[in-house]
Amino acid sequence: MVTWGIVFALVMGVAYFSTRSMRQEDEGFQDAGLAILEFGRAFPQEAIRSLHATVDGKAVFVRLHDNKAGFMRSMRNHFACHLIEPGTVRVGPLPNGKGIAVEFLDASFHNGEFTFANPAIAAEVSLWLLGNYLGHADREADPASGTTG
């Protein structure tokens, strides 16, 4: 009887831990700190300026210090990090306006459609990927015209 009790407890323990680990795999990048740590581990020489996760938490787009961009995707039990080189990505809008379709020319296995919380984030990320992003803090005053940009 004691042996069956121990076997039952072990089976219940294995079931509990396996469902817990599956739930963590499904969560993706719900914690921005985890994304920062994982990208920093993969590319320690790159300084992160900003990041945006997709609605489902399975991908994170990263803006780096020198207007480069990075990409992270949850791949079951690990995270794939990718540094996007200029000219190696194509970006198009999704019909709902809240997402973008991305084609990585140098890493086709990361291609996909990514949906964000709102259209402004989708537009910002698309500008990062295309290398055109210039934020308000990055703008310098133009002395000739007295305007910024």
**Model pLDDT for residues 88-138, shown as the tens digit of each residue:** 889 999 999 899 999 988 888 889 999 999 999 999 999 888 875 555 455
Q: Is the pTM of this model over 0.75?
A: no
SS3 content of the chain, % helix, strand, coil (to 5): 35, 30, 35
Cα angle 122, 135, 141; round to 5: 155
Helix/strand/coil for 132:
coil
Query: CA-CA distance, 119 to 101, in Å (whole number)?
Result: 13
DSSP state of 57: S
